[in-house]
Amino acid sequence: MKDNTPINGNDLLALGYPQTELLGIALKANKKRTGLTKVEMLAHYKMVLDNAEDYVNHKVFGKLATAIVEGVGLRIEEDIIPLKEEAVTYSIYGADHIEEGAIKQMQVAVKLPVAVTGALMPDAHQGYGLPIGGVLATENAVIPYGVGVDIGCRMALSIFDIKGVEFYGMEGLLKEQLVKHTKFGAGQGFQGQYKTQHDILDRGEFNLNPFIKNLQDKAWEQLGSSGGGNHFVEWGLMEFMERDEVLNIDKGTYLALLTHSGSRGMGATIAGRYTQIAKDICKLPYEAKNLAYLDLDSEAGQEYWAMMNLAGDYASACHEVIHDKLTKAIGAEVLAKIENHHNFAWKEMYQGKEVIVHRKGATPASKGVMGIIPGSMTAPGFLVRGKGEEEALNSASHGAGRQMSRTQAIKNLKAADIKAVLSDHGVELIGAGKDEAPMAYKDIHQVMAAQGDLVDVVAMFTPKIVRMADDGSRED
C-alpha cells in the first residue's frame, strides 16, 4: 500500500529549504505527486535543492527547480525587519480545542517589533496573518490583516415586544419579509428606487482621496445588503431566564432579529489596498509577511485608520437599514438593540499606556459592555455582558469557531445530513452552502464554558428562520 502521507512545511525545513516564499512553491509541487511515497518525494525534494539545474524540465519539480535557479527566496533582503527573539506574553482560552495552526500564527504575531501583548479566544482557528479569534495589542501601529478583510464585520440584535409563543403564527410573514428585504453575496446590492439614503454616505472621509471616492457609489448600492460566507439575517427566539434591569426586559421569551455582516465590497477593497501598501513598506520575514503593519504617524497609517473607521460605521449602517426595514415590515416595537464589531482595531488603555487593540474575530468585552456571540444555524447564540478581563484584553470569542475548513465541509458533508439536522432543530434555512453546515462549527457550549471569566450570559438566542447567500459565496 502506497504511503500518501501529506508533506508539510516542517518536512521541507528539515531538508534545508528556507522559510521564504520558496517554501510555498515547494509545497505546491506536492499537489502533482503521483504514485510516489512520502519518503520518495522527500528524496526528490532534497535532490532538487542540491541540483536544481537537473530538474528544470521535470513535470513535477520543474517550477520549483526554476525558482531555485533564479534565486527566488534564497536571497536575503537587507531591508527585512526582524522579529523579536523573545515573544511578548499572551493568554489562551480553551487551548484544548484550538487547532495548532492558529496557535502557531499567534506565536508569530507576538514576536512583531510593535507587539505589546495578545490573547487567543476559544473559537480561534487559522486565518491570514493574525488567526481568527486572535487579539493583539500593538504600539502605535495598525495591521490591516490584523483587522481582517471584512472591516467592521459585526453582529446586531433587535429584541421585539412580541412574545415567543406568537412566533408560531407569524412564520409565513417573517419568511416573506426576510426574503423581500434582504440581499446576499458577492456583488449583490440595490438599484434605483430600492437604494437607501443614509448619513453615512455624506461622510467627509469619502473625500480623503480618489481611491475612497471611487468606492462611494458601490457603498450606496450595497447599503443594507449582506455578504456571503458566514453572513446571515435570521429570526429567532430570545430567552431571558431572569429580568435584566439594564435592558429593562422582563423574564420571558421574545421574538428577535439577529444579523451578521460587514462592510461589503468597500471594506474588502480598502483591506486589499492597504495590506499591499503595508507589505511594500513593512517587509517582515516570510512567516510574518501577512502581519505587515502601518505606523499610525505615517500618511498611509492615518489614511487606513480613517477608512477603517468609515468602513466600520458603514457596516453598522448596513445593519441599521436591515433592522429598520424588517421592524417596519412586521409592525413591531423594539425593546432593545445591541450591536458589536468583531473585525476592527481600537485605541485602548493597557497597563496605563495607549495601545492599538486588534480584534480579528473577537468580541469587545470591557466591563459592562454588551455583545452577541452566535453558535451556528442550529446552535444557540448568547447575549453577553463583558467582565473586563485585562489578560484577555477585554475580549471574548465572536462565535463558535470552525472545526472544519470550508473545503473539508464542502467535500465531506452530505446535503441530506444537513437537511436532517436542520429539521431536527426546527430551523428553516434559505440559501447557504455546505461550508456553513452546523457540523462545520465547534460546540458553542464548550466555547462558552472556556470563557466564563470573560463574559456573563444575559440571554440565549435560538435561530428559527435563517437566510444566507444562496450559493454560499464569499465577499466581493
Residue 231 annotated as part of some ligand binding site:
yes
Residue 271 annotated as part of some ligand binding site:
no
pLDDT digits (tens, 9 = 90+) for 214-270: 999 999 999 999 998 899 999 999 999 999 999 999 999 999 999 999 999 999 999
* Residue bearing the bigger pLDDT, 383 or 1: 383
Smallest CA-to-CA distance from 318 within 475, 159, 132, 148 is with 475
Q: Where on the phi/psi map is residue 95: left (φ > 0), alpha (ψ -120 to 50), or beta?
A: alpha
**For 166, which DSSP code?**
G
Distance from C-alpha of 413 to C-alpha of 405, rounded to nearest angstrom: 11
pLDDT digits (tens, 9 = 90+) for 306-361: 999 999 999 999 999 999 999 999 999 999 999 999 999 999 999 999 999 999 99
Which positions are annotated as active-site residues?
398
Smallest CA-to-CA distance from 358 within 338, 342, 374, 340 is with 342
Which of these CATH numbers, 3.40.50.1220, 3.60.21.10, 3.90.1860.10, 3.40.50.300, describes 153-468? 3.90.1860.10
Q: What is the model's pLDDT at position 47? A: 92
Residue 468 annotated as part of some ligand binding site:
no
pLDDT mean over 89-107: 94
DSSP string, 15-34: HT--SSHHHHHHHHHGGG--
Residue with cell 465572536: 398
Q: What is the model's pLDDT at position 476? A: 44
Question: What's the one-letter identity of residue 187?
Answer: G
pLDDT digits (tens, 9 = 90+) for 128-142: 889 999 999 999 999
Question: What's the one-letter identity of residue 210?
Answer: P
Distance from C-alpha of 65 to C-alpha of 203, rounded to nearest angstrom: 52
What residue spans define the domains of the chain?
9-70, 153-468
Residue 170 and residue 331 in contact, taking contact as beta carbons nearer than 8 Å: no
User: Would you place residue 85 in the very low, low, confident or very high pLDDT band (cuts 50, 70, 90)?
Assistant: very high
Q: CA distances (Å), 267 to each of 130, 272, 275, 466, in order?
A: 18, 9, 12, 24
pLDDT digits (tens, 9 = 90+) for 132-176: 999 999 999 999 999 999 999 999 999 999 999 999 999 999 999
Distance from C-alpha of 461 to C-alpha of 455, rounded to nearest angstrom: 16
Residue 395 and residue 135 in contact, taking contact as beta carbons nearer than 8 Å: yes
Residue 273 and residue 151 in contact, taking contact as beta carbons nearer than 8 Å: no
Residue 167 annotated as part of some ligand binding site:
no
Residue 374 backbone phi and psi in degrees, to 5? -80, 160
User: Would you place residue 407 in the very low, low, confident or very high pLDDT band (cuts 50, 70, 90)?
Assistant: confident
User: Would you place residue 411 in the very low, low, confident or very high pLDDT band (cuts 50, 70, 90)?
Assistant: confident
Residue with cell 510555498: 24
Distance from C-alpha of 236 to C-alpha of 101, rounded to nearest angstrom: 34
Q: What is the model's pLDDT at position 187? A: 80
Smallest CA-to-CA distance from 393 within 123, 136, 109, 98 is with 136
User: 3-state class of 460 per DSSP?
Assistant: strand
Stated pTM of the model: 0.86
